A = this chain, B = another copy of it.
Amino acid sequence: MAEKTMWRHMFTLLKLAELGAHRRTAKISTEYLAAKMQTSQQTASRYLIELERKRWITRNITPEGCLIKVTEEGAKELNKLYSKLKLIVEASYPLSITLEGVVFTGLGEGAYYTSNEHYRKQFIEKLGFDPYPGTLNLKLTTDYDIKTRSELEAYPAVEVEGFQMQERSFGPVRCYPAIVQNTVKGAIVTALRSHYDNSVLEVISPVPLRKHLKLKDGHKVKVEVLTLP
């Protein structure tokens, strides 16, 4: 999903696969491919050269046309696209939801909870990272964000179990993996405390988010919440 040419290449690969070059060698001339792709012979030729460079196909050029086979790597690309589409088409909830909120300073209890060994152990195991002590608090301001956040509650989450410690009881926590400001890995946690209503988002991350993203109170932050494992 990297370069810009990716989609032309993906399209070409798909066409070649349709024409029988997936899992077997097919004889496909540049002109034939061009007709199937509704482009010129020259362009089809260029595409094949590019795909060969990318190692998505192997070619054996003969006087009657190219013997083309999609490589393992090429097949992997088709599979990746297929999986992505499968999730989108078959899932009943979106793959990701982006929320935006304004940074504010909380009561400082986040550090206590994220440092708690019972929670921490589960975060590491279930989210794949050791949370930096503390949570980043975001206030959702628009109706859209508040509405969207409440939609989120219905989607499956990573469940972190509660526990009893001495005479205090710690409730269960629902987490969603998330990407903060399109760059930093983290998660949003809900019901960690009951102090805040659902116009507040609490974000944890392996790195200190405020320092790392140079955030101050009042800054706007985008969080892309991922709903599927």
Contacts and interface: CB of A to CB of B under 8 A. Distances in A.
A36 to B, nearest CB: 8
A177 B137 CA distance: 62
A184 B104 CA distance: 67
How many copies are assembled? 2
Given A4-B38, A27-B144, A38-B4, A88 B98 contact: no
A142 to B, nearest CB: 7
A28 interface: yes
A222 B20 contact: no
A168 interface: no
B67 A19 contact: no
Interface stretch (A89-97, A111-119, A185-193): A89-97
Contact of A18 (B14, B24, B28, B84): B84
Interface residues of A, number: 49
20 contacts: A2-B38, A4-B38, A7-B10, A14-B84, A14-B88, A17-B94, A17-B95, A18-B84, A19-B98, A20-B98, A21-B94, A24-B94, A27-B98, A27-B100, A27-B145, A35-B182, A67-B144, A78-B85, A82-B86, A82-B89
Given A14-B85, A27-B148, 18 more contacts: A4-B38, A7-B10, A18-B84, A18-B88, A18-B95, A19-B94, A19-B96, A27-B144, A27-B145, A32-B98, A32-B222, A36-B182, A67-B144, A79-B89, A82-B82, A82-B89, A85-B85, A86-B86
